[in-house]
Amino acid sequence: MGQRDDSKVRAVQFHPNLSYEDFIRGWRPVGDGKLTLVDGPFVEMMKAAAKDPTSRHIVVIEEINRGNPAQIFGEMLTLLEVDKRTPNEALELSYKRSDGERVFIPDNLYVIGTMNIADRSLALVDLALRRRFAFIDLEPTLGKPWHDWVQSQCGIDSEILVEIEKRLIALNSDISADTGLGPQFRVGHSYVTPPFGIPISDAREWFRQVVDTEIGPLLDEYWFDALEKSQKARERLLEGF
């Protein structure tokens, strides 16, 4: 965006019960028992972007593959395309406010979707939607940025952080090399990043708790048919701690 302006950012989360009527436009009950046509967050952001064409507006869709994107977007599936973002390519919505109403997505409205492709219970987005997005992989980020932030914010000793990083990197190497898992199943840095502003009085005990209650159970899920492998990975994480 080039600036920080929360009024120009709208975050939503897709889930199985979300519908076109929730996200784009649909009928809603009002106090007198009647129904009124209400714009969803996406149409609201389209209007805001159209009124302020010199600024970038952003819709962030968390867990974009947890809903049915093709059904939720409806006509917007076509209008998302770069060459369709002009008044000449405007389309009618399923629920029109007036005869002849047509809409298009302004070119200063950006759509960012996030997804966890390691979740086997979910399908990836269909090809029609996929080709409308550029895809960027987000990697686990340890190294100096993570090290410096955790040390300055939580007061954890540098030697302990170096050891934690080394063990997590080794674990992720094993996960990446596993033919039943792969790189997308690596353990992210958030597991070993304490909440903002919370001092850690005993870093070793904190890491043991993280392994026992968060990383360990995750590994049990990964290797549910080979729990001895999960147990050995836990032991390597905690060895000497």
Quick: pLDDT tens for 41-86: 999 999 999 999 999 999 999 999 888 888 999 999 999 998 999 9
Q: Give how far Cα 137 sits from Cα of 70, 116, 150, 187, Å.
A: 22, 10, 23, 14
What pLDDT score does 1 carry? 86
**Any idea what the Cα angle at residue 200 is, between residues 196 and 202, rounded to 5°?**
160
Counting Cβ atoms within 10 Å, is residue 161 exposed (0-12), middle (13-18) or buried (19+)? buried
The alpha carbon dihedral of 165, 167, 172, 177 has a sign of positive
How far apart are the C-alpha atoms of 48 and 12, rounded to whole Å? 16
Structure tokens at 56: 């970038």
Domain ranges of the chain: 6-130, 143-238
Given CATH 3.30.300.30, say whether it is the number of domain 6-130. no
Chain segment 129-187, per-residue pLDDT in tens: 788 888 898 888 899 999 999 998 888 999 999 999 999 999 999 999 999 899 989 99
